[in-house]
Amino acid sequence: MKLKVKDWRAAHLAFIADAEKMPFCAVKNGEPLTQADVKRLLVEHGLELPLSVGTLMRHW
C-alpha cells in the first residue's frame, strides 16, 4: 500500500501541497484533521482516490 500511496502522491503534487497545510490549520483551530477534511479537499481538486482516504492518511 505504501508504494501505491507514494505513486499517487507523486502524480498529484498540487493536492499534496494543499493537504500538507491542512494539519497545521486544523491544529491552529484546535480541531483534529479528519477524513472528511481530506475528502473535501479531494472534491475541491476534482480527484478520486484508487484507495481509501484512511489508507492515504495512514501512509501519507
Please report the pLDDT score of residue 60 as a whole number: 77
Q: Read off the pLDDT band of 34 (50, 70, 90).
A: confident
Give 44-59 pLDDT, tens digit per residue: 999 999 999 999 988 8
Q: Which of 1, 31, 38, 40 is nearest to 16 (CA)?
A: 38
In angstroms, the CA 58 to CA 43 distance is 19
In angstroms, the CA 54 to CA 37 distance is 11
Please report the pLDDT score of residue 1 as a whole number: 87
- Domain encompassing residue 29: 2-58
In angstroms, the CA 55 to CA 8 distance is 12
Q: Based on the structure, what is the number of domains in the chain?
A: 1
pTM of the model: 0.80
Mean pLDDT of the chain: 87
Compute the residue count for the chain: 60
Handedness of CA 31, 35, 39, 41 (dihedral sign): positive
